Amino acid sequence: MVWRLYLSNYLYLVNNYSPLPLICLSFLVAVNIILKVIFGVPVQYL
């Protein structure tokens, strides 16, 4: 599923680079996708 792909990318970034801004950005993107999938909310930052 899509969220698994983003979770694996998030974990990859954490394990290899661990830059805080990139982690925050990945988290925000994942939250936006989850909201879009579950609630059908239009996401303007994707």
Give per-residue pLDDT as tens, 3-17: 677 778 777 767 776
Q: How many CA atoms lie within 13 A of 41 on its CB side?
A: 12
pLDDT at 1: 58
- Regarding predicted confidence, which is higher, 34 or 17? 34
Whole-angstrom Cα distance, residue 14 to residue 42?
Answer: 28
pTM (two decimals): 0.41
Question: 18-44 burial string, b = 16+ CB within 10 Å, else e?
Answer: eeeeeeeebeebbebbeeeeeeeeeee
- Please report which confidence band the pLDDT of residue 46 belongs to, taking 50, 70 and 90 as the band edges: very low
Q: What is the DSSP letter of 17?
A: T
Does 29 have pLDDT greater than 50? yes
- Regarding predicted confidence, which is higher, 42 or 34? 34
Whole-angstrom Cα distance, residue 11 to residue 4?
Answer: 10
